Amino acid sequence: IEDARKVFDTSLGMAGISGIQNPQFCHLSLLYAKLEAELLINLEGAVESRATYILTKLAERGHYVPYNGQVSSVNVLKARKTYEHLVQDCLTENLTSNQEHASGSSHLIGLVGCYTLFQYLTLGIDSAMSVYCQVAQKLKDKDPGQRLNGQHFTTPLEALSLMHVSLIRFHMKISVYPLTPLREVLLEVLKRYPSNQSFWRSYIQIHSKSHNASKARRFFDAITRTTQSLEPWLFAVQLEQMRKKLIERVQRKPTGDVYATIPEIGLTNRIKALFEHAIQTENGAHCPLLWRLYICFMVSLGDKAKSKGIFYRALQNCPWTKVLYMDAIEYFPDELQEILDLMAEKELRVRVPIEELELLLED
């Protein structure tokens, strides 16, 4: 840890007096402060922590001096005012600009990230969330929401929402905090960014152990009806599979109860329905990952005939995907020659003919 701190201290020391005006150094300070904050067991003494010191020195616009164990309360108050004014100026510049400037957006993200983490360490989670909400409200009018096809860049509002979710999840690890704020934030951002995988991972994590599946199912159904993104389908399947494994784990316990011997088929049928609806969409029909998951799931149920049927349907929609043939060889070893003939028919090159492979194995 000390060696890593020396690297960070040296890098920040090279920024001079313009550190906070430089987006790169602003993000570097934020990363350093985040790593130091993660070392905290709780928020007691957070005001005097290294993380607070780093963010305070960044706002002072002077030469960075490594942590010496002291954080002046006066400097904390000055830093708060500095962050407030800088964020407001950068936000105004971003909103009034008619074009997207990567450097300006990056600087805004870094500044808001530093300010919210600073507020969190010095005043608490409510103050940090207040900053996020105020900035997000002003950015919503400019942010288009769902990305157009082929666009993979992250908007400032999306990046700040990721920070918002990460901060709440971190706070829940070190403190007692209700789940409702995190759930509400995720519901809002997923409606706006249904293709963001990080948000979906957080969402299914908080719902995977819930006994009430109806809310999550209604939400997934609503999202899939309003977007062409494939991510909601994939994570809906994953959530149902996690819930199915959880139930099966309970049923396998030697409790002696009657329910432990009754197979659970409701979730199985729902997962099948999700796969079928997903592959009927334009994006889903040509997604090799979706087909592979479907085949794997059917194989896990022991239904070989239907698994082969899905495999041939997958080839019709994704004939270029070699990994489908590899999966078929693994799942249906008895059909090896048939699969090889099919590959030859599709003009897919086999590196080593099966006859030569058998001779090599014999040797």
pLDDT number for residue 120: 92
The single residue listed with the structure tokens 């904050």 is 37
The pTM (predicted TM-score) of the whole model is: 0.82
Of 27, 18, 21, give the one whose Cα is nearest residue 8.
Answer: 27
Structure tokens at 181: 């704020």
Q: Rounded mean pLDDT of 82-102?
A: 78
pLDDT of 337 reads: 83
pLDDT tens digits, residue range 260-275? 555 566 889 999 999 9
pLDDT, mean of residues 111-118: 92
- pLDDT score for 149: 42
DSSP assignment of 293-340:
HHHHHHHHTT-HHHHHHHHHHHHHH-TT-HHHHHHHHHH-GGGHHHHH
pLDDT at residue 169 greater than cutoff 70: yes
Task: For residues 57-77, give the mean pLDDT.
Answer: 82
- pLDDT of 151: 47
Provide the mean pLDDT of the chain.
83
| Section 54-73 average pLDDT | 82
Ranges 17-31, 133-147, 172-186, 284-298: which has the least confidence = 133-147
Q: Please say if the pLDDT value at position 319 is more than 60.
A: yes
Residue 174 has pLDDT above 80, yes or no: yes
Which residue, 188, 270, 198, is CA-closest to 231? 198
Q: Is 163 a residue whose pLDDT tops 90?
A: yes
For range 241-267, the mean pLDDT:
69
CA angle 156, 157, 160 (to 5 degrees): 85
The residue with greater pLDDT, 40 or 255, is 40
Q: Is 132 within 8 Å of 160 (Cβ atoms)?
A: yes
| Residue 68: band (very low, low, confident or very high) from pLDDT cuts 50, 70, 90 | confident
In this predicted structure, the answer to whether residue 18 has a pLDDT above a threshold of 90 is no
Dihedral (Cα; 7, 11, 17, 19), 10-degree rounding: -110
Domain spans in the chain, listed from the N-terminal domain onward: 1-141+158-173, 178-252+261-285, 287-362
**How many percent of the chain have pLDDT more than 90?**
35
Predicted pLDDT of residue 348: 75
Query: How many residues are present in the chain?
Result: 363
Cα separation values, 316 from 99, 232, 287, 291, 309, Å: 44, 24, 12, 11, 11
Averaged pLDDT for residues 82-108? 78
How does DSSP classify residue 149? T
Cα angle at 237 between 236 and 240, to 5 degrees?
A: 90
How confident is the model at residue 59, as a pLDDT?
A: 85
> Given this model, what pLDDT does residue 150 score?
40
Distance between CA atoms of 163 and 66, rounded to whole angstroms? 26
49: DSSP letter: S
